[in-house]
Structure 1
């Protein structure tokens, strides 16, 4: 995204200082949680930095921290930026729901308890509240909102290509080694449908927030 879209003329001076401070504080919290494991495991033979950043949770939280930092500093109101906010909110909702439904009792990364709470529960909730309470000031159509799903699709393709090469998959539901490709494909179709509904729900939530505001 061009820098001009982040710091353009539509920057809102009316954003309450408390909102900006909270955004920055949660961005720092998310950043610390993301860096905790790489710093702790640095130099360990079993730790792979590329694999760490191959988790959808990590990538979505990096984007969430970026959204909060930019929102704290500039809070741009351009359509491009608000579409980006909506996309990241969608990814964080996906992160939270998939973790709660499929991964809560699965060891998928060796994270500590507190970091799991931050990246899978606290940060998704923070991003959703930010999206609803400080919504985009323009209406975002459903067709545009559906473009938010390009990132999960690209992520899935990347994972399925990289997995056989390194013999490692970040999540069991996208790992064909035990369940087979057919069962995995069926599961992924179900997830895609769920992601579509999540995407539309996030957009509706933003609209309701805009009306309330």
Structure 2
């Protein structure tokens, strides 16, 4: 049985607009370099930023057109929000002065700043009642970052390329890298718990405010 979340149309309209914006930004680099010798599409799509934005784009567009309300969809939506929050924070703290294969400042801003803010705002405004804060839920949300790390560390030596310096063992070595990754895992777990706890905060606030007023 198909159920809808009952999201207001103005939010669905904004989802569609920002979903299209994310799509355009994601295609900008590959299209600009379609005839550039040596440009690696495999490397481009191996960035966590690109992968998380692809997921966010899908969630925004499907949320705009279909507005699903079932548990599986809300879990996917939760994951997209978390990964975009991670993208935005890691970029701001560690990568703002590093070349991350973005062709223009506007695409950089869209994928690292605007879409993370949009996804978090959507998460605050629209309640996902099926998503609860549990240790199991936090663990489930961290599966993708874990798999991404494994993929990067396996692929890196094969192609002699790593997308981010903090996951590159060639300088510090694997022991120091392991310490950094453990620290990142702790931070990601905290962010996952925060995202789960914040779901629908603004919506609940206004609902409770209206209840008290009436």
Please tell me whether residue 45 in structure 1 is matched to residue 37 in structure 2.
yes
- TM-score (norm. length: structure 1): 0.92
2:101 corresponds in structure 1 to 109
- Once structures 1 and 2 are overlaid, which stretch shifts more, 129-138 or 164-173? 129-138
Q: Deviations 1:103-162 (Å, cap 9, x if unpaired)?
A: 001112143111110000000000000011012033513222331110000000000000
Q: Which runs of 5+ in 2 are unaligned?
A: 208-214
Q: Which runs of 5+ in 1 are unaligned?
A: 1-7
| Alpha-carbon offset, residue 210 of structure 1 | 5.6
2:15 corresponds in structure 1 to 23
Indicate if the aligned counterparts of 1:159 and 1:169 stay in contact, CA closer than 8 A: yes
With over 3 angstroms needed to count, the CA separation of the structure-2 counterparts of 1:57 and 1:111, relative to structure 1, is same
Residue 191 of structure 1 is aligned with which of 161, 184, 192? Answer: 184
- Once structures 1 and 2 are overlaid, which stretch shifts more, 142-151 or 19-28? 142-151
With over 3 angstroms needed to count, the CA separation of the structure-2 counterparts of 1:33 and 1:174, relative to structure 1, is same
| Alpha-carbon offset, residue 209 of structure 1 | 4.4
- Residues in 1 aligned to 2:146 and 2:103: alpha-carbon distance in whole angstroms: 25
Alignment of structure 1 residues 26-175 onto 2, 5 Å: 26-142=18-134, 143-175=136-168
Which consecutive segments of 4 or more residues in structure 1 shift more than 6 A?
Answer: none
- Residues in 2 aligned to 1:197 and 1:147: alpha-carbon distance in whole angstroms: 13
- Residues in 2 aligned to 1:17 and 1:192: alpha-carbon distance in whole angstroms: 37
- Once structures 1 and 2 are overlaid, which stretch shifts more, 128-137 or 95-104? 128-137
| Alpha-carbon offset, residue 207 of structure 1 | 5.4
- TM-score (norm. length: structure 2): 0.91
| Alpha-carbon offset, residue 63 of structure 1 | 0.2
Please tell me whether residue 201 in structure 1 is matched to residue 194 in structure 2.
yes
- Once structures 1 and 2 are overlaid, which stretch shifts more, 31-40 or 175-184? 175-184
Indicate if the aligned counterparts of 1:10 and 1:78 stay in contact, CA closer than 8 A: yes
